[in-house]
Each structure stands twice: as C-alpha cells, then as structure tokens.
A and B are shown apart, each in its own frame.
Chain A
Amino acid sequence: MVKQLTVVSGKGGTGKTTIVASFAALAANKVIADCDVDAPDLHLLLHPEVIKRSEFRGAKVAEMDKAKCIECGNCASVCRFHAISDTPSGFALNPARCEGCGACVFVCEQEAIRLRERISGYTLVSRTRYGPMVHAQLSIGEEASGKLVTAVRTNARRVAEDEHCELVLIDGSPGIGCPVIASLTGVELALVVTEPTMSGLHDLVRIINVARHFGIRSMVCINKYDLNETNSRKIADFCHQQGIPVAGKVPYDSIVTEAMVEGVPVVEYSDGAVSDAIRAMWSYIKASL
C-alpha cells in the first residue's frame, strides 16, 4: 500500500520545503507532491521537467450580461460574498470575490447572469532526478486552492500506483485552513516543522489540534532549535505531554540558505550538522511509517 507523509507547519517559513527537498533526496521509491499551491517553492530545489500539464477548473464564476441587466439589484442583495456592488456605471461583479454559488443567477429575472467554468490553474506531472513529482500552478488570485490540492494528491496516487511507488511525500502549505486540511486528510503521518519562537509554539499547538481533529498521527521537527533553547525545551515538553514524538531537532546554519541559492537539497550540499540531523530524522520517520 502507498503511504502518505505530509509536512506542514502552521506558521510559515519554518523550513517545510527545505526538509521535504532533503527527504526527496533521501527516500527511495516515492512520488513528491508540492501541495503548497499558493506559493510553491519545491521546484526551485528539485528542478522538475514537466511532462504533463492539465487544466484545472475550480470554482465557477458568475458572468453578467449588461445588455440584459435592468439594474434591479436583486443579485447584489442576495450575494453574501460582496462580489456585486452598485457602481456609478451600474451593478458590477468582482470576479476575485465571486465564489460561484449561483444565488445571483437564481434571483435574476432577466437571465442576465450565468455561471461559467474558469481555468483556475494547472496540475503538473514532472520528472526529477529524485523521482516523479506532481505539482500545480494556481492562477493569480484564484480560490479553490483546497480543490487544487486534492487534484494534486489524486495525481500523486495515480503516479504512485503506475510506478509502484511506496510513498507519497507531500509538501503542505502554512496555516490551518482549506489547503492545509486538504493536504492532511487521510495521510498516515503529519510531520509538523516548527521553530523555537513564541509564534512557532503558538502555531504548533493549533496545527497539532487540527491533525488530531482529523484523526491524523503527528510528529514534530524543531528546526533552528539552537536559536532559542528555552523555547525548544518548551516545545519538547509540550510534545511530551501530548504524547507526540519529536522526530528531530535541526540546528540553525546559514548553509541551508546557501544550498537554496545553489538550488539543491541541503543534504546533497553539505555533510554538516544540519544534514546529519535531517538524515537521522528521516531514518526515524521511515521506521515508523
């Protein structure tokens, strides 16, 4: 059976992508999935060569035919998303705020509004020297990133089955909302990457509760742990109380940024303490999957 591991963080910028790229270099026989569709960065380290690009249609969008519109304002009065407003040139629709629910279409007696599908991004299947990678491009300002995450994960499973891979390695997005939940549901394990800051600790508690809410086992990685060892101890204590294993502690080192500038996973760039810590963490996680 294909196992799935999602790397998430709650707080942004804690080092998810750095860890995932290194796992991509360490793990055998896997599919890599970048589910941080809002701000995908994994490709900057893994250099995928796209072999298949498919249109992704997310939420629909309302479209107004102003020739038929009599400016009655029924549409604006039912829209709960502030997508239709009364402007000097008549009622106008803001597609960036439209959620494609169709309430305006229903109340418009002139049949001046319709819902149309829109291409809100692309899903990509690629090759990398680390194995197959699935990812996406979300068009600017589009929503439905949760749906796009689900589309990426569906692709990942398909590729994993076709190529007999044992693992899907998922890079998640920051936060606790729609795309994060979509990248967590049904996975075997969530690795939460945190940092020893008050914000990191606060966000860790929230993301751990999200994982628990959806019945997902989690582990924690304390990244840059030596930046504030008091806070790192607080995080470790919290994990201990909650019965959550600390899978690894990675020190701060500017080598991580250097590797990023070179465009390679840090474990391939250096054999220092950071790489050792990530390797040890990967062995621990692999054994428990």
Chain B
Amino acid sequence: MIISVASGKGGTGKTTVAVNLALSLSTGVQLLDCDVEEPNAYIFFNPGEGEEEVEPVHRLIPEVDEEHCDYCGKCASACEYNAIVVLSGQMRRVMLFPELCNGCGLCSMVCPRDAIREVPHEIGVIKRYRSDGIELVYGVLKIGEVRATPLIDRVKEELRPEKTVIIDSPPGTSCPVIAAVQGSDYCILVTEPTPFGLYDLKLAVEVLRALKIPFGVVINKAGVGDLEVYKYSDAEGIPILLEIPYSEAIARYYSEGMPVVEAMPEWKERFVDMIEGIKKKVKEKDKVKDK
C-alpha cells in the first residue's frame, strides 16, 4: 500500500504527518522523502554519523569529442532545451550548458558522426537509514541543480510495495509533485484553515483528480484562520481525515525536531486510526474494481 502526503502550500505540515504516521505504525513501514529540494524527514530520526548509506545519483549529459565533430549543428537544432550551441566558421566550437540539459539523449542519437557520448553528471545523493521497523529513504538534490524529478524517480525506485509505504511529497502542483505522488493508492493532502491554505488546497485537489488518486484532507493548525476549508471540503465531499490543533506545545516540539507521537503518545492512536481508515477505503475501492 502506497500512501503519499502532499499539499499545495508549503509549510502546512506534510513532513509532520508523514513522519508521525511512520512512527505510529512502527513496523513494516517504508518512508520515502521525495521532497529532495528540502528533505526534512530525517531530522526527526536524527541518524548519527555513519548510520546512513549514501549513494550518489547521476543523470547523463552529453560530452562532445571535437576530433570527430564536423560542427554540422544537428545536435543543437534537435535539442529542445537549447543546451547545446554550435558555432561554425572561424569561431567553430561546441558549447554545452549542462544546467539546461534534461538528459534525453537526443543529441547523441542525431549526431551523424558519433561524436557525442553521454557521461554521468551527479545531481545529488540518495540516503538510506533503518531505525527499528522503519526504513527511511530520501534524496538530497545538489546545490545549483535545477531538476528535481530524476532524483525523485530514483528515490521511488527503492519503493517496496509489500510494506506500508509513506511518501513525503514536495509542495506545489507541478512536475516534482506529480513524480512523487503518481502510483499512490491514496493521497493525504495537508492544509491549514487559512485563505492561503484553502487556495492551494484547491490547486492540489485538481492535480489529484486529474491523476485519479483518491484523497482526503488533514487540517493542521486547526483553530487559526477561518472555516472556509471545512465548508469547501464538505461541499466537495472530501473527507477530513484528521485535525491537528494549533498549539504552542506542538509547534515547539516540531521546532526542536521532536515527533509529536513521541512527545504526546496519545496522538499515536489517532494516526493509526487514520491509516486504518485509509486502508479500509483503498480495499473497498479495489473490491469495486475487481467486480
């Protein structure tokens, strides 16, 4: 079972929900932190030096062998991203812009002289950490690297569907979010009851509807703002899975990197109940599908 945790707006509490869900289940859980631009789940597990397996992740970028190149420019005109510029005449030269390259490999395919080969370019690392019954896998995007999606895909290759897999998605609504949540059986959208929370929730709902992933809402910082998120969820028939009240104590534990379920064990049951409810919904849906 794959459950992703996402939100349109950043900072609503995705990581809080993902980490506490994993800790509440405590066995047979895999937590994949796909927010590779700002991976924060590991902070709550506090792995020590040397306790993590680290593996570099690469994508391919072109390298031009100018001895074989005749500067025909076919690579440059094929590239949709303007990552290659070929200068002809006296200034003849091939210029590569790796930060614009998306590694599609088309340039090496079109080169009539086989002068382009692809070489690995490091885009970040993937880290693995095991703590009791929980396996945490996360990606860390290299500073200055533009594209998060290939690293998210790499983190998701680690997915072990026989476990309860929890995916912490990046915020927003564009390509990295889709890469993270696609293939989930269910998605938990975390929001806060404010105008920003509501507006961004609506955007996220559109994404999940387009992807045909069933979803429900967790309202974090309940008690601040207004009631519009509740009215919207009600009108749209979106289930509210859990409410986490705004409290100074919770905010403080979070600020110290302390999971709520450890500081306030009564929350464990609420998270477990939520996930049991989700599992039931997914199974019912699968039954309908089988029929």
Contacts and interface: CB of A to CB of B under 8 A. Distances in A.
A102 B4 CA distance: 31
B178 A177 contact: no
B76 to A, nearest CB: 13
A259 B105 CA distance: 50
B11 A14 contact: yes
B128 interface: no
Nearest to B39: A202
Interface stretch (B47-55, B205-213, B233-241, B271-279): B205-213
Given A41-B199, A174-B11, A181 B146 contact: yes
Interface in A32-54: 38-39, 41, 44
Contacts of B210: 96, 140-141
A173 interface: yes
Contacts of B284: none
Contacts of A11: 10-11, 38, 40
Contacts of B171: 12, 38-39, 174-175
B145 A177 contact: yes
Size category of the binding interface on chain B:
35 or more
A39 B143 contact: no
Contact of A101 (B80, B153, B182): B80
Contacts of B179: 97
Contacts of B40: 11, 198-199, 202-203
A196 B199 contact: no
A145 B148 contact: no
A13 interface: yes
A176 B38 contact: yes
B27 interface: no
B119 interface: no
B194 A261 contact: yes
A257 B206 contact: no
Interface in B35-87: 37-38, 40, 43, 78, 80-81
A196 B195 contact: no
A194 to B, nearest CB: 11
A143 B172 contact: no
B106 A101 contact: yes
B90 interface: no
Interface in A211-262: 213-214, 227-228, 231, 254, 257, 260-261
B38 A209 contact: no
A99 B10 contact: no
A106 B143 contact: no
A119 interface: no
Given A41-B196, A140-B206, A209-B143, A257 B178 contact: no
B105 A38 contact: no
B147 interface: yes
A29 interface: no
A100 interface: yes
B95 interface: no
Contacts of B141: 176-177
A197 B109 contact: no
Interface in B96-128: 102-106, 109-110
22 contacts: A11-B11, A11-B40, A41-B195, A41-B200, A60-B80, A82-B153, A96-B182, A99-B104, A102-B106, A106-B106, A106-B110, A140-B210, A143-B175, A174-B10, A175-B38, A176-B38, A198-B257, A199-B257, A202-B43, A203-B38, A227-B252, A257-B224
Interface of B: 8-12, 15, 37-38, 40, 43, 78, 80-81, 102-106, 109-110, 141, 143-149, 153, 170-176, 178-179, 182, 194-196, 199-200, 203, 206-207, 210-211, 224-226, 248, 251-252, 254-257
Interface of A: 9-14, 17, 38-39, 41, 44, 59-60, 78, 80-82, 96-97, 99-103, 106-107, 115, 138, 140-143, 145-146, 173-181, 195-200, 202-203, 206, 209-210, 213-214, 227-228, 231, 254, 257, 260-261, 263
Q: Which 6 A-B pairs have the closest CB atoms?
A: A12-B10, A13-B11, A101-B104, A38-B172, A198-B257, A175-B37
